[in-house]
Structure 1
Amino acid sequence: MNWEVLSAAPRVVAGKGDGVCRNSCRRETIGSSNMDDVSLKFHQQLLFIDESLVAEDVAALKFLCTDFLPFRKLERVKSAVDIFELLMAKGYLNEKDTFLLAELLYTIKCHSLLKKLGYTKEKVQECLHEKGRVSPYRQMLYELSENITNDMLKDIIFLLKNCLPKRQITLSALELLILLEKQSLLTENNVQILEEICMRVSPNLLERVNCYKRAKVSLPQQENTQPIEEISLSHTGDIKVSPVSEETSIKSVGSNIKDNKEACLTQGFSEIKLELPGGLSNAENESEKVKSYKMDGPHRGFCLVINNVKFNQSLSERRGSFKDAEELERVFTWLGLDVRIYTDLTSQKIKELMQTWQQLQDHKDRDCFICCILSHGESGAVYGKDEELVSIRTIMSYFTARQCPQLAEKPKLFFIQACQGKEIQCGVPVKTDARIPDSSSMQQSFSPSESIPEEADFLLGMATIDGYVSFRHIQQGAWYIQALCSKLQLLVPRGEDILSILTEVNEDVARRVDRLGTKKQMPLPAYTLTRKLIFPIPRDPPPSQQYGGF
């Protein structure tokens, strides 16, 4: 194939809308070449990958390739094909060795394109340790950029105003990092400027930088004899750069960290596994094995609140439930979620609603999904307005990775305020959320142990354990929802993860009793989360301070 002809063809920035023009130009070139079948197939695969990538993907590839390709050449790149040409010219990519491209696609999470190169996500993970070329430093920077929101970026640019060009330019997070590297303010052996920025803008991002630093110092070290610059924040918030002596310079290692057998890259940088000499584990590194879900994107996610108050026949009105719905809306809005409230849905409407939200494409740009259901209930199920049961497992199954791929590997939280048994609560104003025992028809029973899907990234918070009632004050709302909202407001600003918060909720509800001092309740969380779930600390005060508390 004549790649020079291809390179000279008219081209626009990569995007899905320009595929037809680019496709027709390039396939004429392919058809006129005399390459063998293997080479033809290889270049067709590259064209397919190029046409599947959008502008943001190409920018990410350019950034990840700065370890292999000169800045000046990458600056002229307009499409993925340009990058492929440069990689092939340097011997990094050919028909027999496509792993670097597979690694790049894996890193930017274009997993569906790996099959074009004969790889799967799992296969790339297996080979990263021995064949990976993207440095941990570059991966750390890219991962950091993926978690920098637009608001964070504005703050960072403001802090760095003395280090950036005087003329006003619009920068992406990746472009900003490249600019810092060009000015030698950011290097593989000196990431102090990132630490200063993260501490001021988003402490949650600091852990990614610290993880990279721990990975470096755990490997064989060599002294960096070159003086470095110390970076600090002035009282005005600007970042100052000043030289320090060689005696205080940081320690570093050679750039080829991957060759050290102690570093095992199985799932990109976030899965580095470190061991001390002699096979002894470091307690700090052990604690780092449980990573956190990405929760600082531009959009947190959606929160559905299904509030069933009035029912058709024998089930009593759930007085006080509007108080719960209002508090949930306030708290989860404060946490950055887009809250939607639905009132008095039948069992069929609940299923249809789940199906509608299952198909929402906007989940792709969100960090998580939350669903709260307030209703009467039985073992492992909740009632619709029509007094028909819907199993909790059925509700949650709409959002598995297979059924809702936009939420794959993202946390999905379900909070159920409903009884799970039929015991009578006879005190007033405390009511139970259970059906009265003399109901004319026996309802199907579901096991709570079977409620949560056997897939990762789910959390199910039940107001009560199986077989027991949950309690709701007719003015103040349900014990469980009150405690959940209260603890979220108290502990999210302290950086607590969701499981620690739910443990506090358990303790709170367990201490509560009805006015006669005889009725108790014990919530039940169940989960298949694979990472810690920590909500970013909101900038606004908690709703309890804004609206006068509970």
Structure 2
Amino acid sequence: MMADRDTNYRTVLADVADELTDDDAKALAFELVIPRGERGKIINGRTLIDVMEKNEMVSEDKVDQLLKLLRKRRYNVAATKLEGYKQTQNTITKQGAVSGLDTCDSPSGQEQSSSDRYQMNQIPRGHCLILTYDEFTSESKLRKRAGNEKDKVKLNELFGEVLNFEVQDEYNLNYEGTNEVISKMAAKEDHKDCFICCVCSHGDGQAFFTTDGGKIEFQYLMDKFKPQNCEGLRGKPKIFFFVTCLGERFQEFHKDGIGSDGAGLMGKLSGLWAKEADFCICLSTVPGYANARDPSKGTIYVQNVYECFKANYKSTGLIDMLNDVRERTNEKLKQNPVQLKSYDSPICHISPTISTLLRKVYFSS
């Protein structure tokens, strides 16, 4: 069975490669996030597939990125061939699960009760809107967010290729453009089982900034997806990741634990509570504090979300994975302390979660 599957995979990729002209393959090469030396090896369809396999961008169970590129460039014949393969694999997977060939996703090996979980059966799972900003006008007086591109790539891969969401990636929009995208997304009727929104930008604790310095409040964004404004998401999980600085200073480790100022964590979060059920707000840092970001790797929060979700989504629920992200982040900082000038103690990084979810969220069917 596995040999037949591999043969089918190889046959389909060969057919896809043969549908691409040399110029097509070279054009697709510039869409890939790969080392420059690797891009130079792509001279035709076959070498394109070879490079993508070498960089783990395509495999028997991972064809979404290639399919997305083919659709984007409107290479429809090649895309149709790959889509047929993907549908066949989905059918095989479902049949295997029904016949008992695929054990269930729960950690204990026992079937999870569907009554305590949100439905997550459709492919794609739903829409994922990614809003990233790293270049700002001089009038805004906001600095460039170095490392943002790394976050952008990881979020696209995680939610698009791993978790099977339909990703809409919007980059460096101004205030008007951001509002238009948000409104159009909320107005969609095909919201499937779940909605995710990721925002990566500068922030002030209650809002994020667009490229022209426009300020959009977190609550305003979330309000757009309340049931009264977005009927298609009624009773479905709505998950927001805010990867923004919410202050100027970093959090610090203290002898008696992780430090906070006198306002208290709950006081700082009180203004961000969702006023409806079925929301989950994931903050990269505590309001009042800065967001740790490495220009060469991106934010420490997105790095850990990517690693943790990718490794555990089949067996672990959303809230437990977010708890693991929080623990993993600080464990790394404990093992490799970062001591900044003007700070009394090494920095730490708490990433709080605010949830009004009524059921568990699993990204596996």
Task: Judge same fold: TM > 0.5, yes or no.
Answer: yes
After TM superposition, the structure 1 = structure 2 runs for residues 167-182 of structure 1, keeping only pairs within 5 Å, are: none
1:509 positional shift: 2.1
Q: Tell me what 1:468 maps to.
A: 289
Cα distance in structure 2, aligned partners of 1:499 and 1:158: 29
Distance 2:354 2:200 in 1: 18
Q: Tell me the SS of whatever aligns to 1:299.
A: coil
> Which of the pair has the greater relative contact order for Cα pairs under 8 Å at 6+ separation?
2
The separation in 1 between residues aligned to 2:130 and 2:94, in whole angstroms, is 38
Which of 175, 179, 186 is the equivalent residue of 1:347? Answer: 175
Separation in 1, partners of 2:166, 2:94: 28
**Compared with structure 1, are the counterparts of its residues 409 and 200 closer, same or farther at alpha carbon in structure 2 (3 Å cutoff)?**
farther
Give the equivalent residue in structure 1 for 2:26: none
Aligned-residue offset at 1:490: 1.5
How big is each residue's C-alpha offset from its partner over 1:189-209, in whole Å with a ceiling of 9 and x where there is no partner? xxxxxxx8263357369x9x9
Q: CA deviation at 1:298?
A: 3.2
CA RMSD of aligned residues (A): 3.1
Is structure 2 residue 124 aligned with structure 1 residue 302? no
Cα distance, 1:410 vs structure 2: 1.1
- How many residues matched? 252
In the other structure, the counterpart of 1:331 is: 158
Equivalent residue number for residue 22 of structure 1: none
The correspondence of residues 83-94 of structure 1 with structure 2, limited to 5 A, is none
Residue 506 (structure 1) aligned with residue 332 (structure 2): no
Give 3-state SS (helix, strand or coil) of 2:130's partner. strand
SS in 2 for 1:203: coil
8 A Cα contact 1:452 1:458, kept in partner: no
2:278 to 435, 450, 457: 457
- Structure 1: distance between partners of 2:152 and 2:93: 37
Matched, 1:203 2:104: yes
Q: How much does 1:316 deviate?
A: 0.8
- Please say if residues 286 and 350 of structure 2, whose CA atoms lie closer than 8 Å, have aligned partners that are also in contact: yes
Q: 1:385 to 1:453 in 2, by over 3 A?
A: same
Cα offset, 1:455, TM superposition: 1.1
- Work out whether residues 400 and 453 of structure 1, in 8 Å CA contact, stay in contact via their aligned partners in 2: no
- What's the secondary structure of 1:361's corresponding residue? coil
- By how many angstroms is 1:458 displaced? 0.8
Q: Secondary structure at the match of 1:303?
A: strand
Kindly indicate whether the alpha-carbon contact (under 8 Å) linking 1:463 and 1:522 is maintained by their aligned counterparts in 2.
Answer: yes
1:412 to 238, 255, 262: 238
Give the match for residue 118 of structure 2.
Answer: 293
Q: CA deviation at 1:326?
A: 0.1
| Gap change, CA 1:353 and 1:514, over 3 Å in 2 | farther
Structure 1 position 351, deviation (Å) = 2.1
Indicate conservation of the 8 Å contact 1:152/1:202, yes or no: no
Structure 1 residues 456 and 152, CA gap change in structure 2 (3 angstroms): farther
Q: CA 1:157–1:298 in structure 2 vs 1: closer, same or farther (change >3 Å)?
A: closer
Unmatched 5+ stretches in structure 2: 1-86, 252-266
Whether 1:318 aligns to 2:145 is yes
Runs of at least 5 residues in structure 1 that lack an aligned partner in the other structure = 1-149, 160-195, 212-287, 426-445, 538-550
Superposition TM-score, scaled by structure 2 size: 0.62
- In 1, Cα distance between the equivalents of 2:310 and 2:175? 32
Percent of aligned pairs with the same residue?
A: 25
Tell me the amino acid that sits aligned with residue 128 of structure 2.
C
| Alignment deviations for residues 483-512 of structure 1 (CA, whole Å, 9 cap, x no partner) | 11111012113x100000000111122232
2:154 counterpart letter in structure 1:
E
Question: Cα gap change, 1:398/1:202 in structure 2, threshold over 3 Å: closer, same or farther?
Answer: farther
1:57-456 paired onto structure 2 within 5 Å: 154-155=91-92, 197=98, 199-200=100-101, 203=104, 291-313=116-138, 314-333=141-160, 334-363=162-191, 366-423=192-249, 448-456=269-277
Q: Are the counterparts in 1 of residues 130 and 168 from structure 2 also a CA contact under 8 Å?
A: yes
